[in-house]
Amino acid sequence: MKPQDIVAGKSSLWIFGYGSLVWKPDFVYKRSKIGYIKGYKRRFWHGDNFHRGDDEMPGRVVTLIEENDACTWGVAFEVTGSQVEESLKYLNVREAVRGGYLTRVVDFFLQDTNQSPVQALVYIATPDNPIYLGPASTKEIAAQIAVCKGKSGHNTEYLLRLAEFMRVSCPNVDDPHLFSIEAAVLATKRPTLIAG
C-alpha cells in the first residue's frame, strides 16, 4: 500500500515511529504522542547500508515482525494540512527509497488513556527487502552494531538512543530484545573505553 492511497482525501495523518523516528523525526508535525501498536514486535533484523552502515558493512536497524500477543511502543506524530504531503515526501526518501521499508496502517493506542485508538501509518521492512538481514543471536547483532557506521552516524548511537527513549518515555515497559543487545554492545565497548 502506498502512502498516497492511505491519505487520499484526508486533512490529517498519524505516523508511528518505533526506531530513529522516536528521537529524530526531521519533519514538521502538529503534535506527538507516546503509545503503542499491537500485533508486532520490534527487532534489529533489518540491514542499513546508508544511515547506519554501508554496502560492505551494513548496520542493523529495527523493523516490526508480526506476532499476535506482542506490542511495540513508540511515538506517533500527527501531521495536518501541507505537513501531510511534506512529511510523506520526506519519509518516502528516508524510509522507503534508502531503507526499503513498506507502509501499513495500524491502530495506535495512546499511553495512559482510555481513548479509542487512531489509525497510523507505519514503515516496516519485510524479508523481501534485499537488505533485510533477519534473525541472529544477541551476540551477533551486538557485534555488528558495535562496528558499523553510516552517513547518519554510528550504529551504536542508534541503539543507545532507542534504549534511552524507552527508559525515559516508557519506563514501565520491558523490551528484552532491545535491552539485551544494548547490554551486549556496551560490554564490547567497555574494555575499549577503559583501555583508551
Active site positions, annotated: 95
d(CA 95, CA 97): 6
Strands (E), the chain: 12-17, 31-48, 59-80, 102-110, 118-124, 149-150, 153-154
d(CA 22, CA 36): 12
Looking at the chain, the number of H-run helices and the number of E-run strands are 5, 7
Distances (CA, A) of 97 to 12, 15, 89, 129: 23, 17, 11, 11
66 phi and psi angles, rounded to 5 deg: -65, 135
In eight-state DSSP terms, residue 76 is E
Distances (CA, A) of 53 to 83, 122, 146, 149, 151: 30, 22, 11, 5, 8
